[in-house]
Amino acid sequence: MASTLDGGRACGSVRYRLEDEPIVVHCCHCRFCQRMSGSAFGLNAMIETERVTLLGRTLPEPVPTPPTHPKGQVWYRCPSCQVSV
């Protein structure tokens, strides 16, 4: 991987930079991830928070998910298009 990797939402509102490689990247095909992503799977990349830099002024919004998990989950979504970040 390059030393950094820039990315963001297709609408262009939320942009970010990964300062390192993710620890793990995987797809989950459970019904919960399908429902939350609106797709056949949820794509997850785990990386330490301090290794992600938000670019620009638009920040993702925290959205609590239904309590199907014991501790619950918070997904971050783009405030413009509401797609998960």
Which pLDDT value is given to residue 55? 93
Confirm if 41 and 32 have CB atoms less than 8 A apart: no
- The pLDDT value recorded for residue 64 is 84
Strand segments (E) across 1-85: 5-8, 15-18, 24-28, 42-46, 52-55, 61-64, 74-77
Question: CB count, 10 Å around CB of 22?
Answer: 16
The reported pLDDT for the residue numbered 33 is: 84
Provide the whole-model pTM.
0.75
- pLDDT above 90 covers a percentage of the chain that reads 49
Domain range list for the chain: 5-58
Q: From the CB of residue 7, how many other CB atoms can be counted at a distance below 10 Å?
A: 13
pLDDT digits (tens, 9 = 90+) for 28-40: 998 888 887 888 9
pLDDT digits (tens, 9 = 90+) for 11-27: 999 999 999 999 999 99
